[in-house]
Amino acid sequence: MNQPQLNKYKSFTAKDFAADDDFVRYVCNPNQEDITFWNELIQIFPEKSQAVREAKLLIQALQPDQAMLHPVDAEDLWAALSNKHHEVFISRTTGRKIHTSKLKNVFWGIAAASLLILTGVLISNLFKDEETFTYSTGYDQIASVILPDNSMVTLNANSSIKVWSSGLFQKNREIALTGEANFKVKKKKTSGIYHKMLVHTNSGTVEVTGTTFNVYSRENKTKVYLREGKVKLNNLPDLPVIHMHPGDYIQYDVLDKTISKNKVASQIIDSWVFNKVIYDKTPVTEVLNHIKAVHGWGYVLKNKSLKDKSFTGVLPADDLSLLLKALEEAFDIKIIKKDKTLLITFK
């Protein structure tokens, strides 16, 4: 390829590359000549490498079936653009709590058995300072933490968990969640009895012993997806205990008091853990609400007809600019950023 042909792309942005027929052919159906040409372009204009990577993802995002057929290439692109490893903000508090009902049991134990050693152990545990750990992420951050019991929790952006122990000998593991988190719970047992983990959401409690699952708890919505193991949903208003099995996806709306249960592929729900976000005929308003939750940008739809649109695509979870470009291309709209608000209108 000669220099004039290469110079054509000197001022190209990612969006320009994505609109170029030759580049689209190179991404979707490359031949050796195309590969040589674009490799040469990157060598001559190394500053264009980021724009080329973004353009590849943009094209594949708008053709998700094609992208899914080339997982190795896609994984290389996710890795190249990934900024997944962020600092997780941790706080720790300690407070002394007296449980009067437990004290009563202790005194009865003393009177009945006079087992002073056992009593001493019980009192030690009942009056033990209770530690509470809080882990949180900011907007555009994803982070993984290892809990004291060696369970792993991955927090999505703008999320937090509060962790503490409860019950006799503090065997129960309790977590209060705001936002979204993916759990890989380690099984723990004493004398053959498994220790529970209780994840409290805005509408109910997820009870597990050892399993892998994803929980979303924002505003009035709770969503639970079970990948492995068994889960019980307790304390949902006006609903019985719900037993979940692998592949189950339950969505509950606190305000509407509506609930749905489906079988869903895991990559649709917890793809964010691997720094991807997958939209499959997702309403535009749901996409925009996701942007608000994890990136911190509100939105104003200038054309209400956009509410009826749906979006399909596969994108890196931490790249808001690329997502906005994909939306603009898919619906021929213009998105303007102003004061942490997205102003959206037709071109």
pLDDT per residue, tens digit, the chain (347 aa), is 567 778 888 888 887 887 788 888 888 888 888 888 898 888 888 888 888 887 887 776 665 444 333 444 444 444 444 444 444 566 655 443 333 333 334 334 434 443 444 444 444 444 444 678 899 999 999 998 888 888 999 999 999 999 988 755 556 789 999 999 999 998 877 777 777 899 999 888 999 877 999 999 998 899 999 999 989 998 887 778 888 999 999 999 888 888 898 998 888 898 999 888 889 889 999 999 999 999 999 999 988 888 889 998 888 888 899 899 999 988 989 999 999 999 999 88
Same domain, 133 and 256: yes
pLDDT at 153: 94
Q: Between vectors from CA 175 to CA 174 and to CA 180, what angle results, nearest 5°?
A: 155
Which residues, at least 6 apart from 187, have a Cβ–Cβ distance to it below 8 Å? 194, 209, 210
Which CATH number does the domain housing residue 325 bear? Answer: 3.55.50.30
Single residue among 65, 81, 97 that ends a domain in this structure: 81
Residue 296 DSSP code: -
Domain of residue 249: give its range: 89-267
Same domain, 134 and 161: yes
Number of domains in the chain: 3
Residue 142 DSSP code: B
Same domain, 214 and 104: yes
pLDDT at 316: 85
Single residue among 63, 81, 99 that ends a domain in this structure: 81
**Cα–Cα distance between 217 and 203 in angstroms, integer?**
8
Same domain, 220 and 99: yes
Same domain, 246 and 196: yes
pLDDT at 2: 62
Same domain, 163 and 246: yes
Same domain, 332 and 187: no
Same domain, 134 and 214: yes
Single residue among 16, 49, 81 that ends a domain in this structure: 81
Same domain, 56 and 107: no
Single pTM value for the model: 0.70
Same domain, 236 and 299: no
Same domain, 25 and 93: no
Same domain, 156 and 19: no
